[in-house]
Amino acid sequence: MKREEVFNFSAGPSVLPTEVLEIAGKDILNYGGSGMSVMEMSHRSKVYLEIFESTKSKMKSALSIPDTHEVLFLQGGASLQFSMIPMNLMHELGKGKADYAVTGNFATIATKEAKKYGTVNIAASSEDKNHTYIPKQSDLKLSPDADYFYYCANNTIYGTEWQYVPETGNVPICCDMSSNILSKPVDVSKYGIIFAGAQKNMAPAGLTVVIIDKSLAGKEMSCTPLMMSYQRMIEKDSMYNTPPCWNIYMLGLVLDWLGKQGGVEGMEKIKKEKAALLYDFLDNSKLFKACAEPGSRSDMNITFRTGDEEKDAGFCKGASAKGLTNVKGHRNVGGMRASIYNAMPIEGVRKLVEYMKEFEVSNCV
């Protein structure tokens, strides 16, 4: 199939804006008349440092990041942050304390990792209903003396999303925003740490963006590896070693594209329109049912099923044949999942709904 015939609903690595790929393609051999690809440049060269500083500036502008916070371009994926956060924020190995909200697979993994370094209080869990909802503020059992509170803003596997920022008093908030960053405005000042793997809304896999309140850095455990110290990475401006240069460049291009969509405010309107198309159909369908509860539904990852595994499999096979790829649900939950990140055009969502209507007609007899 040709690219224009395929709509990629993968949960990650996910679709990138065509415009961005076209620009990167033109630059691949010779960036800006340098005679080199970005992938070949020294990360300390003048031409690359201009790319780096420009991307960092664009990131700060896109999310209105205050001067109290630093933007870091790291590696290791979002998963490395599961260890990096407790090692840097828990006061002492085995003696620190943190609150965790367990609302999906990645929050569960992060919780298990944090337990290696200190005491973890489960402030809330949605496991009782197979992670189909987000706990309310009143459900959170918070520790006033916790070193931090941790949650995952959007749960890709289960299709749920926090619709509010938890109130934690003076306890810093650490948030995994891997799958919904840049999809809506965020008051960064409310967070101690925001982190996100790039491969959903920002750039190719291999880059992790961390936004950290600088006052939280410099208190890491003595056993913290050199490359996992926030303070060291702040001091070295993410360049203690070679950063993921190409991915940072790609993030800059995506941020340029985002600006043309009206920034995060414009993107929020677009993503709500796309999500409404799918949810409106699901809520009125005789065959398909949304998995997540109303009020907790994700605008990025929409999970649904027919209730019949054979029909689910048939739907996924038929969707792929029509160029609607990667709609099969995660192996842990089955069913279907449509990931409609920022770069998914609304046309793709319309095509998916059209096919869902066709499938419903032929399977409701």
In this prediction the pTM is 0.97
The CATH number of the structural domain formed by 21-259 is 3.40.640.10
For the chain, which residues make up each domain, given as ranges?
A: 21-259, 263-363
Q: How far apart are CA 266 and CA 273, in angstroms?
A: 11
CA dihedral 135, 141, 145, 148 (to 10 degrees): -20
Instruction: For domain 263-363, say whether CATH 3.30.930.10 is its number.
Output: no
Using one digit for the tens of pLDDT, what is the confidence trace for 30-87?
999 999 999 999 999 999 999 999 999 999 999 999 999 999 999 999 999 999 999 9
H/E stretch holding 18 reads: helix 18-27
Q: Angle between the 77-89 and 105-114 helix axes, to the nearest 10 degrees?
A: 40
Per-residue pLDDT of the chain (365 residues; tens, 9 = 90+): 899 899 999 999 999 999 999 999 999 999 999 999 999 999 999 999 999 999 999 999 999 999 999 999 999 999 999 999 999 999 888 789 999 999 999 999 999 999 999 999 999 999 999 999 999 999 999 999 999 999 999 999 999 999 999 999 999 999 999 999 999 999 999 999 999 999 999 999 999 999 999 999 999 999 999 999 999 999 999 999 999 999 999 999 999 999 999 999 999 999 999 999 999 999 999 999 999 999 999 999 999 999 999 999 999 999 999 999 999 999 989 999 999 999 999 999 999 999 999 999 999 86
Angle at 65 between CA 62 and CA 69, to 5 degrees: 145
| Long-range contacts of the stretch 321-324 (C-beta < 8 A, 24+) | 322/351, 322/355, 323/1, 323/5, 323/6, 323/7, 323/351, 324/7, 324/9, 324/348, 324/351, 324/352, 324/355
